[in-house]
Structure 1
């Protein structure tokens, strides 16, 4: 059966007090709207229509997905009016699933259950029992059984008795498309807001004798929307706690699940330990026995078994990724940038930066150093304060440091340059030519001491 998806994303989000459209605010590193699109990605929908309005250009430029199209709602005259804008793009066959772009954590299984409950013949609503229903539309039940869904009444239009109802409308529904189109054409705006409410189609379905069924989500978090920075922060913590619990159930040791942030995907082997205040972004994989120290940021990286990432290390693989070999020791206060590929038992110490460089097994750069566009052999010892000068102002050039080279402190390696196997580079040298294998190479000015020299004095 054909399925179309409509996502309402036209609202301004006044309470966010931001120039950014509400649906583009980030939750766990992704825009709210991107979460919604991810929830329906596996439904094999024929098309997904996003209704934009406030900041339409920004929203349309920010999100992409297969089969995605946009329609605009201007002016914004309510949820029913929003879905009316999508009608020309909906086929008469099959069903339409309607979602909100600011309700980001609907589970794919719940979306699928709603579509199945609709079955192209029924109006299916997502509802939830809550202790405080203030602000939400109430599910009105009655009929012969007393439990039949008869309609939804918005909070501002509800009577005092109706406001005692605790079953709320979550704003997500699935309907037979042909019937949905007819019901939308019959909507009126004679209510407290002067808007066309999508929820009014429930009463129209009941009048037509179409069964109205309710589906409940797995948890409250699936139906929570975002209307303010406080609500966004609350939902962020709820989401992160859920991710932390899933990891701990799989055996990951989190020092404090309340101080953990996952903004992408994280795969962990056995006996992984993660200290407090760590942030994982993009795609990260941690091998068996990996230990991540406090206050680390890790993005787009593969860290192999037994590696230790000491506190305050920043790993950002961007598009190229970062690889850390088995048993490597990184940090504290190290920075690994895109293209860093570290072999087994490599040591990268405090205030060392590595970019687009490979380091073979056992290589060490323990202090205050920079390796960019370099190929480093096994067992190299790279001295404190040394750098590869890889950029000539127009182009990048590569430095090759062969196995067992010892680079003294405060050296500048002017690329392109090769240091032969077993070479030693004297401290303070500027190396602009290849250094022979197995030899000591020193390139620095002769030390001179001047007797009788006096330090200049400040004029008064």
Structure 2
């Protein structure tokens, strides 16, 4: 689909947009205790994708219809901060669940008569806001507008029955369709835009005289036709936008489709992906020019990669800014959580490194294999090349931090900070017991445990005297009885 020319904010219908999201289903085929709409795609619950789209649509309110796992679903929605910041969110319970029409009936007391209602499904996560704007424009606050799709095999879907003038005359559910109607390949997606006042009146006229003995939302089409209201269809050719999730297989298929969309978007912007089929974005990934990403990398939260950054295979990176020219070697794990992580210009990280929240690395810093950095600042040119831990530390320029050395930052109750000033050399297997400052240009001898601050330019050695005992015998195991 090409992008819509409709400008958000300019084409909002008079009276605004109200969104109804159907999220009451149990999802039996998911075979899970988790409500279906809370299963994740690209790191976010299905329902969150739908509500984020409602935010993009500039809806003024959203009514989420819950049923199975209602308490859990409603609690989860409180954490969807993006949606909550854009509109009022309310909930309507559907108990028992007597069909799609019955579901939307539960929302009626929470809808006013102004504007247009857009009906969405909580298990259809990838509908684009541009597509919905087209639907709203077609509705024009006076018509019913349906989102439809051509399907080679429409089995199980409601068929779109059109009149000679091209308008929709009916939606016939598969189980109620005649053989002639089942030959129709245009199907209803479950998404519609309807003037709110008209929707309310039509919902009040629904009955359950059908094969399922359910109240079908699709039956309101015949009421619109009887009342002389035009029913129009916006037909798209992108099945991903209307694909629902009813099983783990469908969820995995949609995940791959989504990830391939993200991969193509990045490659069109110049990113070099070793294999777009082995790539996952579970948040927001922004890339400058000439970024290279190897296989099996996962990006979560908000990640920003600067110009010329290289990401090695099998890396997991979350909530981080990686500046120009930095190299992240394979099997590196970076997770900024709320504090974030920053990797400076030209830094070299990994392989097998771990950067935790609050790691702030300057230009040309080296963090090597099996080095962990947490809540620490490393200035330009500092190096910790292997087997080390830096926690709650401030590290100066050109520091060399030896293999096996750690900052002992936790006393069992509180965290304390270690300061390592410029040009310090810390030998192997040292313990710096915080709070402590190692003066500029100083050296800490290998194997030392430093408990007091040191003066600039000094050599500090704190270890037991070596003792040699001649002819010493190791203990022997007692013979078995």
Taking the aligned partners of 1:171 and 1:71, their CA distance within structure 2 comes to 19
What SS class does the counterpart of residue 318 from structure 1 fall into? coil
Partner of 2:76: 62
Q: State the secondary structure of the residue aligned to 2:198.
A: helix
In 2, Cα distance between the equivalents of 1:455 and 1:320?
Answer: 50
Residues 379 and 404 in structure 1, CA contact (< 8 A), matched pair in contact too? yes
SS at match of 2:429: coil
* 1:142-200 per-position Cα deviation (integer Å, ceiling 9, x unaligned): 2x43x321111111111222111100000000111111111101111111111100000
- Per-residue CA deviation, residues 388-429 of structure 1 (Å, 9 max, x unaligned), is 000111110000000000000000110000000011001111
Q: Distance in 2 between matches of 1:98 and 1:178?
A: 14
8 A contact 1:298–1:316 mirrored in 2: yes
Q: Tell me which of 199, 205, 210 is aligned to 1:180.
A: 199
Aligned to 1:107: 128
Is residue 184 of structure 2 the alignment partner of residue 141 of structure 1? no
Q: CA RMSD in A?
A: 0.9
d(CA) in 1 for partners of 2:358, 2:399: 19
Structure 1 residue 217, shift from structure 2 partner: 3.4
Alignment of 1:20 onto 2:34: yes
- Kindly state the Cα deviation for residue 135 of structure 1 after the two structures are TM-superposed: 1.2
2:117 corresponds to which of 96, 114, 121: 96
Counterparts of 2:250 and 2:18 in 1: how far apart (Å)? 30
- The corresponding residue for 2:364 is 345
1:35-74: per-residue Cα shift (whole Å, max 9, x none)? Answer: 0011121333221110011001111111142311111110
Structure 2, unmatched stretches of 5+, are 1-13, 79-83
- Within 5 Å, which residues of 2 pair with 1:112-191? 112-142=133-163, 144-145=164-165, 147-191=166-210
Who is 2:24 aligned against? 10
Q: Are the aligned partners of 1:313 and 1:335 in contact in 2 as well (CA < 8 Å)?
A: yes
Deviation (angstroms), 1:119? 1.6
C-alpha separation between the residues in 2 aligned to 1:222 and 1:150?
24
Q: Across the two proteins, how many residue pairs are aligned to each other?
A: 458
Residues 149 and 237, structure 2, Cα contact 8 Å, conserved in 1? no
Contact preservation (8 Å) 1:342, 1:359: yes
Query: 1: distance between equivalents of 2:175 and 2:130?
Result: 32
Residues 167 and 233, structure 2, Cα contact 8 Å, conserved in 1: no
Return the alpha-carbon distance in structure 1 between the equivalents of residues 195 and 474 of structure 2: 90
Q: How does 1:266-415 map to 2 (within 5 A)?
A: 266-415=285-434
Cα offsets for 1:88-117 (capped at 9, x unmatched): 011112211110000000001111111221
Mapped contact 2:283–2:299 kept (Cα < 8 A)? yes
Query: Which deviates further from its counterpart, 224-233 or 447-456?
Result: 447-456
Cα distance in 1 for residues equivalent to 2:216 and 2:193: 16
Moved more, 6-15 or 147-156: 147-156
- Per the normalisation by structure 2, the TM-score is 0.94
Q: How much has 1:384 moved relative to structure 2?
A: 0.4
Q: Secondary structure at the match of 1:371?
A: strand
CA contact (8 A) 2:150 2:237 kept: no
Report what 2:10 is aligned to: none
Q: Secondary structure at the match of 2:52?
A: helix
Q: 2: CA distance between counterparts of 1:93 and 1:448?
A: 89
How far apart, in 2, do the equivalents of 1:422 and 1:45 lie?
60
CA distance in 2, matches of 1:446, 1:275: 50
The change in CA–CA distance for 1:217 and 1:319 in structure 2 (over 3 A counts) is farther
| Contact 1:420–1:435 under 8 Å retained in 2 | yes
Q: C-alpha distance in 2, partners of 1:175/1:216?
A: 16
**1:79·1:196 contact (CA, 8 Å) conserved in 2?**
yes
Structure 2 counterpart SS, 1:62: helix
Measured after TM superposition, the shift of residue 218 of structure 1 is: 5.7
Residue equivalent to 2:222? 203
Identify unmatched segments of 5+ residues in structure 1.
none
Which deviates the most, 147-156 or 347-356? 147-156
Q: Is the 8 A contact 1:126 1:173 kept in 2?
A: yes
SS at 2:22 equivalent: strand
